[in-house]
Amino acid sequence: MEIIRPEVSTPQEADIAEGQLINSFISQCTSPIPDPDKWLEEDLKRNILLTTVDTALAWARQRSIFPLMFGLACCAFEMIGMAASRFDAARFGLDIFRWSPRQADLMIVAGTVTWKMAPAVRMVYDQMPEPKWVIAMGACTISGGTFRESYSVCPGINRIVPVDVYVPGCPPRPESLLYGITRLHAKIIKGTIDNPSLSLK
Ligand code: SF4
């Protein structure tokens, strides 16, 4: 609605103009307020979504993941690349990396896990609050990779902590890790209040 304000030069003219404007508002507002019984039901039908508490919680969890930085070798650089702006991991609900396990619910282990490092991996995992998940990134983390036969390398991190998603490659590219994150989403959404991580601890 276009409002035309007349030129006024005195306070009396301003009062008259304001009165005319108010009268024009009143004249255009004579139609009755729509009966809520007529439109409310249709509106409710369009805007109500039925779900379960389990599904709502799992949906919120999968879109709010706080990863823990656990880079051990060359794969870590691809993980760091994934966290940079070019790949925009926030699109997938992945928040900034945490340096404390107590503030994280996803441990991404990227690199060669030596037996000497194994107790530290387990200790950090134990310090993370439930529910929590683990991604094994790269051939070395998954199976020892090219160092599998070495006396000092753990031939698979699943011997130390339960793994939810494996991201193979040497090294896997950041896109592969993002795909692993979406696979983790698929797992989290199946979780329940009783068993949110669906992991065998
Ligand atoms: S999988 Fe390849 S890139 Fe990754 S830590 Fe092992 S050797 Fe390095």
Q: How many whole angstroms from 100 Cα to the centroid of ligand 1?
A: 24
Residues 165, 119, 126: CA angle, nearest 5 degrees: 60
**Domain boundaries along the sequence of the chain:** 65-188
Residues with CB under 6 A from ligand 1: 73-75, 111-112, 138-140, 145-146, 170-171
Q: In whole numbers, what is the pLDDT of the chain averaged over residues?
A: 86
Residue whose Cα lies nearest atom 6 of ligand 1: it is 140
Q: Measure Cα distances from 72 to 78, 118, 130, 161 in Å.
A: 12, 11, 24, 16
Q: In ligand 1, which atom is closest to the CA atom of 111?
A: 5
Local confidence band at 201 (pLDDT 50, 70, 90 cut-offs): very low
Q: Average pLDDT in the 43-68 region?
A: 84
| pTM (2 d.p.) | 0.74
Q: What is the pLDDT of residues 17-36, one digit of tens each?
A: 889 888 888 888 877 777 77
Is residue 70 scored above 90 in pLDDT? no
Q: CA 133 to CA 162: how far, in whole Å? A: 8
Q: Specify the CATH architecture of the domain 65-188.
A: 3-Layer(aba) Sandwich (3.40)
**Sign of CA pseudo-dihedral 113, 116, 119, 125:** negative
Q: How many whole angstroms from 10 Cα to the centroid of ligand 1?
A: 83
Residue whose Cα lies nearest atom 3 of ligand 1: it is 171
Q: How many whole angstroms from 110 Cα to the centroid of ligand 1?
A: 8
Residue whose Cα lies nearest atom 5 of ligand 1: it is 111
Question: Residue 200's pLDDT is what?
Answer: 43
Is residue 12 scored above 50 in pLDDT? yes
Please name every residue paired with 61 in a beta bridge, in sequence order, or none if there are none. none
Q: What is the pLDDT of residues 97-138, one digit of tens each?
A: 888 999 999 999 999 999 999 999 999 999 999 889 999 999
Local confidence band at 197 (pLDDT 50, 70, 90 cut-offs): low
Is residue 95 scored above 90 in pLDDT? no
| Between residues 9 and 118, the one the model is more confident about | 118
